Structure 1
């Protein structure tokens, strides 16, 4: 018993000596925020003249946010978007809108349409989701001319900015500019 008490006193003294000032390696690692996630089908609308073979949506690492969607043909000659008919399952987003959340969107575009020239990966970073209420419908990727994209969550508010039937205005603050993704083009071509 004397040995046991000696070990306990030694451990307690060692803890008091450091007063908790010893940094832990875990203190230096920022943990991602935890969100309650919901899954919804993913659809796309394409207002560009290019064929989009695939796309993916990624949240911050470790959050579980993300998904992807179906391919979508070029816009119609009269300016109407293509897409909206197919849906992939599922993209996971926070159940409650998070103003600080930033996403990465990647899409593979075939601009030559000659059957010989491979397409190209594009990426938009720091993509913000427009404010949404209760998730009631699909997650939409809306591809716009100039290699731009907007991601929205259908919330049943047809008068708001989350109505897939309305083309986003060119000055919509939730439209993100894409650029050629050199890393993915090097890795996947």
Structure 2
């Protein structure tokens, strides 16, 4: 083989390798683009109330949860909401809720009819907020709405309640910061 033939052969080999590499990259890109999206997951809905007012009702993206007492929650799950299998930063939930409480101690109105009690001494507000859903992993669990003071909302997706030390909120179960004394009970 002549020198000219050898350089031509090397050039041809280089071009062939370039084309092979280009085709391999193109095939890898096509295969990864065809990868199916992970299926969405279904999560039950529960709530935790960190306020002194009762949550009369609430919904998350039009799926209803149950009512929650002041400084309480968890318990049974309401069904259900679809979530992406993988959390994304733009993920949001719209929470609609009614929260309220008595404006006087119940002992002052216990002799009134229910209608009279409500007319005189019941206060409630209905609110709506769209908030981010906090990051979650693929073992998501249940969607948890945290009702916080000053009408703030946080939404977590986690398999255990806030009393679990691994819960991303690190808030623990709701506690009344001013529990009634034995005299007030």
The Cα shift of 1:100 comes to: 1.1
The Cα shift of 1:158 comes to: 5.0
Number of the residue aligned with 2:129: 124
Deviates more, 1:106-115 or 1:143-152: 106-115
Number of the residue aligned with 1:172: none
Number of the residue aligned with 1:135: 139
How far apart, CA to CA, are the structure 1 residues paired with 2:55 and 2:151? 11
- Structure number with larger C-alpha Rg: 2
Q: Does 1:159 align with 2:155?
A: no
CA contact (8 A) 1:48 1:144 kept: yes
Number of the residue aligned with 2:76: 86
The Cα shift of 1:134 comes to: 1.5
2:150 to 146, 149, 157: 146
Question: How many residues are matched?
Answer: 120
Number of the residue aligned with 2:59: 56
**Any gaps of 5 or more consecutive residues in structure 1?**
1-33, 59-65, 76-81, 168-189
How far apart, CA to CA, are the structure 2 residues paired with 1:113 and 1:153? 34
More helix per residue:
2
CA contact (8 A) 2:158 2:167 kept: no
CA contact (8 A) 2:45 2:65 kept: yes
